[in-house]
Structure 1
Amino acid sequence: MNTKRIVQLVMGVVLAAAACGNSWAQKAEGLASTPQMGWNSWNKFACSIDERLIRETADAMVATGLKDAGYQYVNIDDCWQGKRDANGDIHPDPTRFPSGIKALADYVHGKGLKLGIYSDAGATTCGGRPGSRGHEYQDARTYASWGIDYVKYDWCNTPGMSPEPAYTTMRDAIAEAGRPMVFSICEWGIGKPWEWGAKVGHSWRTTPDIYNCFDCEFSPGLSTGLGVLRILDRQAGLRQFAGPGHWNDMDMLEVGNGMSEDEDRAHLSIWAMMASPLILGNDLRSMSESTRRILTNPGVIAVSQDKLGVQALRVMVDGPLEIYAKPLDGGQWALMFLNRSNQALDVRHDWKAEVLSDGLSNRSADFKQTVYSWSDLWSKKTGDTSTKLEARLAPHSVLMLRLTGPAKT
């Protein structure tokens, strides 16, 4: 084969790859094999952030037992950015982050934690700071040089842009930068990211932003805030897209930000059952002991982090009472009884009335044939499926059980 022909073939491959958006690049493998656990600054602090807050949050994550419970990412959201220099390199706000992000990453890493950062697919972020449009590869190299472990990538100020190629560009930029980073797609479910997100990122937002209420919808200006139940309802039909390394993201948690304790417990339980990332959104430095206990509940976290990685399915609706089932590794199950109403409900559940089955995971449990032991992950009560389950559910609360079998007799 002559030299000219070889050059033509090589150029053809290069041009074809370029047309596919650098299709040889991949997201970092081996990350987010279970849903991410960490903290993000936005829900509580919005743009009121600085390096002191991030350092103190890392300190609190260790001191309060959150790190030991599995939370590992400390994520800086919008408004950390300063200006780009003459070469186009992004720098942190010199007033808010005078020590620089690299020093902050070193501090967080020294605590045994990981640091995340935020950018936007548009030219400017939601907070009006410099976005990454046209600087994707440059920004990814900068993040890698700082020691960043997690990138949340937003979708503000993107008129005329298409989500999949925009997010693929940043995925490729991160891959080329050479440092494994979790890539969190935050385009609010507009472009059905569950259909293409698995090959691009490690998680993708499925809804508009969360709002700290249990069942409401809040619309300031052009944005929309959804309460816990409104977000849950929008997950219908999405469970088949989730699994190890690629998760439906129901947004950051509002536990500790003003709802009741029952609502906070239900909120965490729902996110764990649905295999959504557990990214805290409260002030870890001043949270109450009850909030700390909720967020570090080992049984609920174990359901979230189950290595089978199957998102729960709704198996029953009886007015305001709903039952969700999540297959777990080792033939176990998690069940959640959710009271959506403002009134207390009595639960009388006959285990033997139905066979519990999930076609997605090919798992089933026939309680007529096998007796399972159960433990209540909040009250610590125990029992088994040989007798009917009877319980009273407070308004906006859950009963969350882990089933293991067969029961000892």
Structure 2
Amino acid sequence: MKKCFLFFLVVNIVHSVLSQENDGLALTPPMGWNSWNKFGCNVDETIIKEMAEAMVNSGMRDAGYEFIVIDDCWQIGRDSLGNIIPDSERFPSGMKALGDYIHSLGLKFGIYSCAGSKTCQGRPGSRGYQFQDARTYAEWGVDYLKYDWCYNEGQNAEAAYKTMSDALKATGRPIVFSICEWGDNEPWKWGKGIGHLWRTTADIRDCFQCQFDWGGLGVMDIIDRQAELYPYAGPGHWNDPDMLEVGNGGMTYTEYKTHFSMWAMLAAPLMAGNDLRNMDRQTREILTNLDVISINQDELGQQARRFMDMGDYEIWAKPLTKGEVAVCFLNRSSEVWKLAYNWKQHTMYFVKDVNLHKYQYKIWDCWKHEYIGTTNEKLSADIPPHGVLLVRLKK
């Protein structure tokens, strides 16, 4: 009898630990849309509804995008009981009705708050109201919470985020929790089991390579900061290099393809940040590229590693299920990279199920959507400035 008791005790403990680490949410990187990059504080009920409709009509929902997230500036105060008050002029129907509409389209509803006393735009934060706000969000039907770090007043980051994490779990509603403290406190070391994703850098800017005094970073600068964080990514816990800028006009078509390709390789959340209502053909082509999305959403959940670093030229590799691998040749330079790559010359030591010396693999170009040879041949290509060649090796 004692042995049986001990057995069941061990099983329950193991189950409890696993449940804390993986609650079944965000088993692949979250995909959706967030209002901030395009609209900032200029958000309202009409815009959010139209974005949700555009996500469906554009084919993005069918491509895997599901979250519609309202960022900062939806809240204006608290009532006498401390309940958070949405801006009734901008959201006259209320958040519950808006969430219901989003759900009616087969999408999920996301919202924003902050671990500090105020949000980054000076609206009421959740400090001191975590459990009350979490219950309110659950009542509204919220499926995703982005939680910022402004006005944090010297709090311990891990403790602050765990408090809100506990509050969300206590509601009984499955809510994806996005930790957004900009990587200042190395959340990749403590975020697993607290959040489902955590920002690794300062805010993204709509540029290929640039840095700003206040902390904004371009695409290449963000990639460099995330490159060595691959041990911390996996199903239910993702490194987040911030939202996508594809379609916002600050980069070229080639650069946006690179941006999207590398976010896919990094197993990053794919949160679009453009105006979905008026996307041009090229923007829609990028955001709904199923070959690239499948690399991002691969169930193995591994983040790519920088396999070879040759200065302006880099080769990244991402292990995939079914013994496949995605390889991205990244040209950071302002000149064409005349690639001539011998697959047999280098060993991808961390890709356990792929043996380029023993087997022949077919090479699938994820932007041309066609086979371009095999690994028994040298791969030759002209990769444009700031461009990529993204391929998938298949047996």
TM-score calculated relative to the size of structure 1: 0.90
TM-fit CA distance, 1:364: 4.6
Would the aligned equivalents of 2:324 and 2:354 in 1 still touch at CA under 8 Å?
no
Tell me the distance in 2 between the aligned counterparts of 1:254 and 1:260. Answer: 11
**SS of residue in 1 equivalent to 2:101:** helix
Q: What does 1:41-56 correspond to in 2, within 5 Å?
A: 41-56=35-50
Give how far 1:317 is off: 1.7
Equivalent position of 2:205 in the other structure: 211
Paired residues for 1:215-226 under 5 Å: 215-219=209-213, 223-226=214-217
Where do 5+ consecutive residues of structure 1 fail to align?
A: 1-22
Residue 357 of structure 1: SS of its match in structure 2? Answer: coil
Q: How many Å apart are 1:24 and its aligned residue?
A: 12
Quote the Cα distance in structure 1 between the aligned partners of 2:227 and 2:189.
14
Question: For 1:327-371, what per-residue CA distance to the aligned partner results, in whole angstroms no more than 9, with x for missing partners?
Answer: 00010000000000111110010011012221xxx6153322111
Superposition map of 1:53-68 within 5 A: 53-68=47-62
Q: Are 1:193 and 2:187 counterparts? A: yes
2:197 is aligned with what amino acid? Answer: S
Counterpart residue number, 1:235: 226
Q: Secondary structure at the match of 2:41?
A: coil
Partner SS state of residue 227, structure 2: coil
Confirm or deny that 1:244 pairs with 2:238: no
Residue number in structure 1 paired with 2:8: none
Query: Which residue of the partner structure matches residue 373 of structure 1?
Result: 362
* Conserved? CA contact 2:206–2:218, under 8 Å: yes
Deviations 1:145-171 (A, max 9, x none): 000000000000112111000000000
1:123 aligned partner: 117
Contact 2:182–2:202 under 8 Å retained in 1: yes
- The separation in 2 between residues aligned to 1:203 and 1:368, in whole angstroms, is 36
Whole-Å separation in 1 of the counterparts to 2:20 and 2:89 = 36
Pair 1:25–1:365, CA change in 2 (3 A): closer
**Aligned residue identity for 2:294:** A
Q: Deviations over 1:200-229 (max 9, x none)?
A: 00000000000000111123xxx3110000
Q: Tell me which of 387, 391, 401 is aligned to 2:381.
A: 391
Q: Deviations over 1:119-164 (max 9, x none)?
A: 0000100010000000000000000000000000000011211100
2:3 corresponds in structure 1 to: none
The secondary structure found in structure 2 opposite 1:375 is: strand
Q: Distance in 2 between matches of 1:380 and 1:110?
A: 33
CA distance in 2, matches of 1:152, 1:320: 34
| Partners of 1:154 and 1:185 within 8 A in 2 | yes
C-alpha distance in 2, partners of 1:191/1:268? Answer: 26
- Equivalent of residue 277 in structure 1, options 264, 269, 284: 269
Name the SS of the counterpart of 2:349 in structure 1.
strand
Equivalent AA in structure 2 for residue 218 of structure 1 = F
Matched, 1:105 2:94: no
**How many residue pairs end up in the alignment?**
377
> In structure 2, how many angstroms separate the alpha carbons of the residues matched to 1:62 and 1:178?
28
Write the mapping of 1:8-407 to structure 2, written as runs, cut at 5 A: 26=20, 29-219=23-213, 223-258=214-249, 259-358=251-350, 363-382=352-371, 383-405=373-395
Match of 2:5 in 1: none
2-structure distance, mates of 1:355, 1:76: 45
Fraction of identical pairs, as percent: 55
1:354–1:366: 8 Å Cα contact kept in structure 2?
no
Amino acid at match of 1:172: D
Structure 2 Cα separation of the partners of residues 172 and 165 of structure 1: 10
SS of 1:112's equivalent in the other structure is coil
Contact preservation (8 Å) 1:371, 1:384: yes
Residue pair 2:22, 2:193 contacting (<8 A) in 1 also: no
CA RMSD of aligned residues (A): 1.4
Paired with 1:53 and 1:28, the residues of 2 have a C-alpha distance of 34
